[in-house]
Amino acid sequence: MKNEMIVSVGPFENRLAVLEDNQLVELLVHKQDRKEIIGNIYKGIVKDNVPGMGATFIDIGLERTALLHFRDAVPDILDLEELEDENFVKEIKNDIYKMGELLEVGQEVMVQVEKAPLGKKGARLTGQISIPGRYMVYMPYKNYMAVSRKIISIKERRRLKSVFHKLKDNDTGIIIRTNAELHNEGEFKKEYSSLKKIWEDIQDKYKDYSAPQCIYDENDLTSIIVRELINRNLDLIVINSKIIRSKIIKRLKRIAPEMIKKVKLFREEAGIYDAFGIEKEISKVLHSRIYLDSGGFIVIQQTEALVSIDVNTGSFVGDKNLEQTVTITNIDAAKEIARQIRLQDLTGMIFIDFIDMQHFENRQKVIRTFREEMSKDLSPHKIFSTSPLNMVEMTRKRARSNLLSSFFESCPYCQGVGRVLAHSALIDNIFRWLNRAEKYHPEDKLEIHIHRWLYDDIIEKQYYLKKDYHFSWEFILDNELDYDQFKIISMKSKRDITDLYCA
């Protein structure tokens, strides 16, 4: 399978598209005004301790305070050596929730972002610092070693453990990554020294910088591209920026010179995503209904807590019988759903309503197809057996904001619910208001300001609602109002009286 990354560098956003056999499977969008922060390390200030939640809120310089659960804090981020009560120190190490007794408002701590902010939720933090490299993840504060499960050979796992035991310091944890397989000790030493130097620089910045402030940025564009190139073992990267390509090559010369040849500059005049057909694919993703090659379609609906996906046969009628038609549609849908989960970065609880099938072997075939396609996903996920309602349930871990949040903002009219008040309901609201206000405004003239979308409809219907009020009224077109708003001005007092008689 051919894996490529196409990078579009723009004035307002950078986009990284991952292609598998020329099919778009992932799209990372990094906006200039909304930078990714996962993996960044901050010098933060404790703002509020909430023992009932088992957590503390920390200011790291973002719009919202970030959350640090006591269980994700580690004793090493606090100065336990200054504590005279040895028993209390032991209690903290045995019961991490005791950590809350040491985290005081105004205290400065070093933390790392584990999850990005989403909606009204702030970022999720951890006190366990980790710095990823090509062959290892460097973890200060922790005398620990683990080997990637993807390294299957027992002999190779033993070799790597032996090499790293000699290499690492006693107060350092190491996770040996899959890329380390079959590489030599010299390469490991070089990277270990580099990661150790990064950690020393972070400690120096923590001492010198004032809080709240980022003291290690893992999300500049060059770092992201190099990390993706190495972690995914990409066959090719094509980028439309000569400057960024030069920075990537400079970074690769130090850590992976053999990969420089994989980074190509896009030199054509046409847009890079137009040339690779990616723009068309993106436009399809932005619709809730996605059509399948078979003629069926899937409908994806997202809420803050869960995602529902519905499968329909659409225009596909099959050749033999209903069971075959449904099975073909479901298999086609299983492949596309797995792709959309990765592409849109759908997370949380995901419920998939495949079309009902009569035969057990057909249901198993669909589930097997879905599991095989999801095995390509790098994000942690778990797929459960079919529920009693014949739905496939799964969970997928959230790290960054999903794709739709990169392209859409909350609708100012419907506030994200996907619906606006019907014309008839809005007209009823206006005339109910008039009924409430009738006895308070004798001999007055009222100006009823409404949005242009409502104007024609309400002018057409007003004679049905004509009533002998003690005041006269006139509808005024006002494009400064939202669709579902109205404003009423008393010409007698020359003031806005809308709020006086609302329900």
- Number of Cβ within 10 Å of residue 61's Cβ equals 14
Percent of the chain scored above 70 by pLDDT? 87
- Kindly report the length of the chain: 503
Residue 83 confidence (pLDDT) above 60: no
- Smallest Cα–Cα separation from 402: which of 69, 115, 13? 115
Cis peptide before 212 (omega within 30 of 0): yes
- Smallest Cα–Cα separation from 88: which of 99, 103, 74, 77? 99
Distance from the first to the final alpha carbon of the chain: 62
Q: Distance (Å, rounded) from C-alpha 330 to C-alpha 458?
A: 47
pTM above 0.75, yes or no: no
- The pair of three-digit structure tokens given for residue 307, joined into one six-digit string: 């995602």
pLDDT at 96 (0 to 100): 61
Mean pLDDT of 434-443: 85
409 Cα distance to chain centroid: 14
Query: What confidence category does residue 288 fall into, taking pLDDT thresholds of 50, 70 and 90?
Result: confident
What φ, ψ does residue 93 adopt, rounded to 5°? -70, -25
pLDDT at 334 (0 to 100): 94
Q: Distance (Å, rounded) from C-alpha 366 to C-alpha 311?
A: 12
The residue type found at 133 is: G
User: Look-up: residue for tokens 């996907």?
Assistant: 418
Asked whether 404 and 286 are in contact (CB, 8 A), the reply is: yes
Any residues with CB less than 8 A from the CB of 387 and at least 6 apart, and which?
393
Mean pLDDT of 111-126: 86
Q: Distance (Å, rounded) from C-alpha 39 to C-alpha 113?
A: 5
Q: Distance (Å, rounded) from C-alpha 124 to C-alpha 114?
A: 5
Asked whether 222 and 239 are in contact (CB, 8 A), the reply is: no
- The pair of three-digit structure tokens given for residue 500, joined into one six-digit string: 């006086």
Residue 110's DSSP bridge partners are: 43
Residue 43 confidence (pLDDT) above 90: yes
Per-residue pLDDT tens digits for 452-484: 888 777 777 665 555 677 888 888 888 888 878
**Can you tell me whether residue 341 is helix, strand or coil?**
helix
Q: Distance (Å, rounded) from C-alpha 175 to C-alpha 38?
A: 19
Q: Distance (Å, rounded) from C-alpha 209 to C-alpha 226?
A: 27
Asked whether 330 and 296 are in contact (CB, 8 A), the reply is: no
Mean pLDDT of 335-339: 93
Between 364 and 34, the higher pLDDT residue: 364
Mean pLDDT of 277-290: 82
Query: What confidence category does residue 317 fall into, taking pLDDT thresholds of 50, 70 and 90?
Result: low
pLDDT at 44 (0 to 100): 92
pLDDT at 314 (0 to 100): 78
- Number of Cβ within 10 Å of residue 69's Cβ equals 19
Mean pLDDT of 168-196: 87
Q: Distance (Å, rounded) from C-alpha 277 to C-alpha 219?
A: 27
Between 268 and 255, the higher pLDDT residue: 268
Percent of the chain scored above 90 by pLDDT? 29
Residue 88 confidence (pLDDT) above 90: no
Asked whether 110 and 43 are in contact (CB, 8 A), the reply is: yes
Judged by average pLDDT, the poorest of 15-24, 279-288, 476-485 is 279-288
Between 366 and 232, the higher pLDDT residue: 366
Q: What is the DSSP string of 50-84?
A: EGGGTEEEEE-SSSS-EEEEGGG--GGGS-GGG--
Paired sense of beta strands 144-147 and 172-176, if any = parallel
Residue 321 confidence (pLDDT) above 60: yes
- Number of Cβ within 10 Å of residue 312's Cβ equals 16
pLDDT at 369 (0 to 100): 94
- Smallest Cα–Cα separation from 218: which of 237, 236, 198, 197? 198
**Can you tell me whether residue 360 is helix, strand or coil?**
helix
Between 75 and 175, the higher pLDDT residue: 175
The residue type found at 387 is: S
User: Look-up: residue for tokens 């068309």?
Assistant: 280
